[in-house]
């Protein structure tokens, strides 16, 4: 029997350790260590959805100015007219107008499609911002400032439209939709963290109108890019005559009141933190401190989206609100017991980590309970509730600061969060019955 001979593998040979050659056979063996490819993470799989990256880039461009316009308006008006009271009144008017107009804009988007409604609505809002800029620059009467800024209320709910696209693309995949909602909430936090900083920099480093001008360019460009992605746009749907409006849908009114209470947390926290930093002689640091809170929420939102949620959303929401309530006691203790701004910043970073999971869970419930074909309207109603709560929280926080102290005013966000927790713990039927009466009065 012939003995096998062993030869070394030549450089061009197949990637094997050796070749065993006999008279009858040729055997190849490969002893190289095999490495397993790591499966892509949930966010890579999400953005690998066809068309997702293009509409996400456009949506982020259009969403960033949402955190720029109010700060730019305050700096621009106060810097030229010398009145923070006038600047605050103008921005409050725009907030109230948005609360009234946004649900109607969202209803039109659902009925006629995102591209057909969002583009003209965005152009009207952009003209309102440009009119405000010109009125401030040329010293127009004060009433023109209110009228111009009220016109910006037609700005579409860009975050809601992005969530509607994810809901259309990922229908039936609850885990992927959870990741998408978490991603969008993290994007919200990122835009509201970077927007004010960018606006303040532009208005102070260049000229007072620079923040508004750049915001208009980003808004229009981003919306045009977003709506150009027609392949991912959800189809326009006309609701059946028997279909209920989102405001009348079972389970939606209690959620709107919860959103109202959570908005009180955000509004009070912003005003009270600015007042606390001002009392410490570091008013300029207030933006950094608030940015840390948004950073904590952004990081927690991304982590929450990478996890597989346990149990239905209606069971998770009370736990999320309870965690937010507990963590909000940390800034109250830091401000009351130590008066240290760095320690307050650390506690706000920690407290912010409960915000995104709570908002993601609430928005998931809104998506589940909104009638088919009216998703954008349902989510815009939730945002309207948040805006109303922000206005109430700002007023309550400012009043408490004036009459007690900034440290004691940190009790307002804790109270608002505790109220939201109580509302989530109400039995569904009782909560729906109570809030339906308020919804009927609102209509």
Residues in CB range of 256: below 8 A, 6 or more apart: 247, 381, 382, 385, 435, 439
Contact between 401 and 271 under an 8 Å Cβ cutoff? The reply is yes
State how far the Cα of 232 lies from the Cα of 198, in Å rounded to an integer.
Answer: 30
Paired strand residues for 434: none
- Structure tokens that stand for 306 in this block: 């990478």
CATH class given for the domain over 53-238: mainly alpha
pLDDT at 26: 46
Averages of pLDDT over each 10 residues, the chain, 443 residues:
51 48 47 55 78 85 83 77 72 79 82 86 91 86 86 85 83 78 79 76 80 90 88 74 64 84 83 79 72 80 75 82 91 87 89 84 80 74 80 78 83 90 75 44 39
Residue 229: other Cβ atoms inside 10 A: 20
pLDDT at 399: 80
Residues in CB range of 378: below 8 A, 6 or more apart: 246, 249, 252, 366, 367, 369, 370, 371
| Superfamily of domain 245-443, CATH level 4 | MFS general substrate transporter like domains (1.20.1250.20)
Residues in CB range of 269: below 8 A, 6 or more apart: 290, 293, 331, 348, 393, 397, 413
State how far the Cα of 69 lies from the Cα of 96, in Å rounded to an integer.
Answer: 15
pLDDT at 437: 47
pLDDT at 205: 77
Q: What is the dihedral of CA 411, 417, 419, 425, to 10 degrees?
A: -150
pLDDT at 270: 77
pLDDT at 219: 92
- Structure tokens that stand for 234 in this block: 């959800």
Query: Is there a common fold for 53-238 and 245-443?
Result: yes
- Name the one residue in this structure whose structure tokens are 């405000």: 132
Question: What three-state secondary structure class fits 302?
Answer: helix
Helix H or strand E segment including 328: helix 313-333
Domain-wise residue ranges, the chain: 1-34, 53-238, 245-443
pLDDT at 33: 53
Residue 390: other Cβ atoms inside 10 A: 23
pLDDT at 25: 47
Whether pTM exceeds 0.85: no
User: How does DSSP classify residue 51?
Assistant: T
Contact between 386 and 266 under an 8 Å Cβ cutoff? The reply is yes
């Amino acid at each position: 029997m012939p003995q096998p001979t062993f030869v070394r593998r030549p450089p061009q040979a197949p990637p094997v350790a050796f070749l065993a050659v006999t008279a009858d056979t040729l055997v190849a063996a490969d002893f190289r260590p095999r490495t397993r490819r790591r499966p892509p993470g949930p966010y890579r799989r999400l953005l690998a959805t066809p068309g997702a990256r293009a509409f996400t880039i456009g949506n982020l461009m259009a969403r960033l100015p949402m955190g720029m316009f109010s700060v730019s308006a305050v700096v621009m008006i106060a810097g030229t007219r010398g009145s923070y009271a006038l600047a605050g009144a103008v921005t409050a008017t725009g907030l109230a107008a948005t609360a009234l107009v946004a649900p109607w804009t969202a209803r039109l988007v659902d009925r006629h499609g995102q591209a057909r409604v969002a583009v003209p609505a965005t152009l009207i809002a952009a003209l309102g911002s440009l009119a405000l800029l010109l009125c401030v620059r040329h010293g127009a009467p004060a009433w023109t400032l209110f009228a111009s800024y009220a016109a910006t209320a037609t700005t579409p709910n860009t975050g809601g439209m992005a969530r509607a696209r994810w809901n259309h693309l990922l229908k039936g995949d609850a885990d992927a939709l959870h990741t998408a909602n978490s991603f969008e909430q993290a994007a919200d936090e990122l835009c509201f963290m970077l927007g004010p900083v960018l606006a303040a920099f532009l208005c102070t480093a260049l000229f007072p109108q620079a923040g508004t001008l750049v915001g208009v360019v980003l808004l229009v460009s981003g919306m045009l890019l977003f709506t150009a992605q027609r392949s991912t746009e959800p189809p326009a749907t006309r609701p059946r005559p028997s279909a209920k409006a989102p405001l009348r849908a079972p389970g939606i009114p209690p959620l709107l009141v919860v959103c109202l209470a959570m908005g009180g947390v955000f509004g009070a926290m912003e005003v009270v933190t600015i007042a606390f930093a001002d009392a410490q002689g570091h008013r300029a640091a207030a933006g950094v401190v608030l940015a840390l809170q948004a950073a904590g929420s952004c990081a927690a939102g991304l982590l929450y989206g990478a996890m597989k949620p346990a149990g239905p959303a209606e069971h998770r929401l009370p736990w999320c609100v309870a965690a937010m309530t507990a963590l909000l006691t940390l800034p109250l203790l830091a401000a009351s017991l130590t008066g240290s701004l760095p320690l307050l910043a650390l506690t706000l970073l920690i407290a912010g980590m409960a915000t995104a999971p709570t908002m993601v869970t609430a928005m998931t419930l809104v998506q589940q309970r909104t009638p088919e074909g009216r998703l954008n309207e349902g989510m815009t109603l939730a945002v309207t509730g948040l805006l109303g709560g922000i206005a109430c929280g700002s007023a309550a926080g400012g009043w408490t600061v004036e009459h007690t102290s900034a440290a004691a005013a940190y009790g307002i966000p804790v109270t608002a969060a505790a109220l939201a927790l109580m509302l989530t713990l109400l039995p569904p039927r009782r909560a729906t019955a109570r809030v339906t009466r308020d919804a009927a009065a609102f209509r």
